[in-house]
Structure 1
Amino acid sequence: MLAAVNAPEDFSGKSTMKLRIKGTAIRLRRDRKGLDELVTTDQTQEALRLGPGRSVAFSCSVEIGNAHRGQPRANYGSGRLVLFIDGSDAREWRGSDRVGFDHEQVAENAMMRIILERDFACFDRPSGDESDDAYAFQNPSDAC
């Protein structure tokens, strides 16, 4: 069951969650701070207000919950997208070099791809946007 959306009043000092939706794929990236938050509190969430008041918002969260090992799953309702991950997977992910998880889930008689990844620092970020990488994982590549 999904809870009501509570859009935060202040986003300062928050970790970064990057969401990409393309076709039938959902890709979500979490930085170090967000992954730590997930493991210590069992969830990490971001919200975007789309109108006046807290009730007109979209939120996305990653929660430790009902998911099989290595198979994150997604659920959506009432303006809230929730990606669930197995607790052991989340703890191992934080303590290892694993980039993330990639799993296909059946949704409405079609396949939906769920991708959870570490957010790596970008080498060619425009000047002034450095704060986006404040908690990013060190990039193992030579280029973005």
Structure 2
Amino acid sequence: MKIRIEGDSVRFRLRRSEVETLGREGEVVQTTAFPEGLFTYRVTLSGSIEQLSARFTEREICLLLPDTWGRQWSQDSNVGFSGSIQAVEGHSLELLLEKDFVCLDRDPSGQADQYPNPKAGSI
């Protein structure tokens, strides 16, 4: 799982096995170790929401995806989900959860768990 944060935007990219795990188990989790402690980022399915959402707690970012969307995601051609939520002080936070595609400018042999890039034949 990869995360990218830029300004008021958070993007998560999941490899094929992670999308499958999310659909089967309802959650995927990664941690990064810092000297001060672990930073956790996760995607969790929820039966109580109707759109992509997020939570931020001490040392953790969690994207919440409606359960029905996540359970079928590995079986369909949907690339991802986007949403926007209200944040502090009048800010809105843009959210994006995507399948991770093979990078065309890198050696594909190290990207076996990524989805085939739909632009692979056009470049």
TM-score, scaled to structure 1: 0.77
Q: Offset of 1:18 from its aligned partner?
A: 1.0
- Cα distance in 1 for partners of 2:92, 2:116 equals 32
1:26 aligned residue (4, 7, 10): 10
Where does residue 35 of structure 1 map in the other structure?
19
CA contact (8 A) 2:23 2:72 kept: no
Q: Which runs of 5+ in 2 are unaligned?
A: none
Percent identical residues: 25
Q: After the TM superposition, which parts of structure 1 deviate over 2 Å for at least 4 consecutive aligned residues?
A: none
In the TM superposition, 1:1-144 aligns within 5 A as 17-51=1-35, 56-65=37-46, 66-68=48-50, 71-108=51-88, 109-125=90-106, 127=107, 130-131=109-110, 133-142=111-120
RMSD: 1.7
Instruction: Give distance in 1, aligned partners of 2:91 and 2:109.
Output: 39
Instruction: Specify which structure has the higher proportion of helix.
Output: 2
Partner SS for 1:121: coil
Q: Output the TM-score relative to the length of structure 2.
A: 0.90
Map Cα deviations across residues 46-70 of structure 1 (whole Å, 9 max, x no partner).
1001027xxx0101000011421xx
Distance (Å, rounded) in 2 between the aligned partners of 1:67 and 1:19:
22
User: What one-letter code is carried by the residue in structure 1 that aligns with 2:45?
Assistant: I
* Structure 1, gaps ≥5 residues long: 1-16
TM-superposition CA deviations, 1:86-138 (whole Å, max 9, x none): 1110122211111101101001121110100000011211x5x843x121011
Structure with more strand by fraction: 2
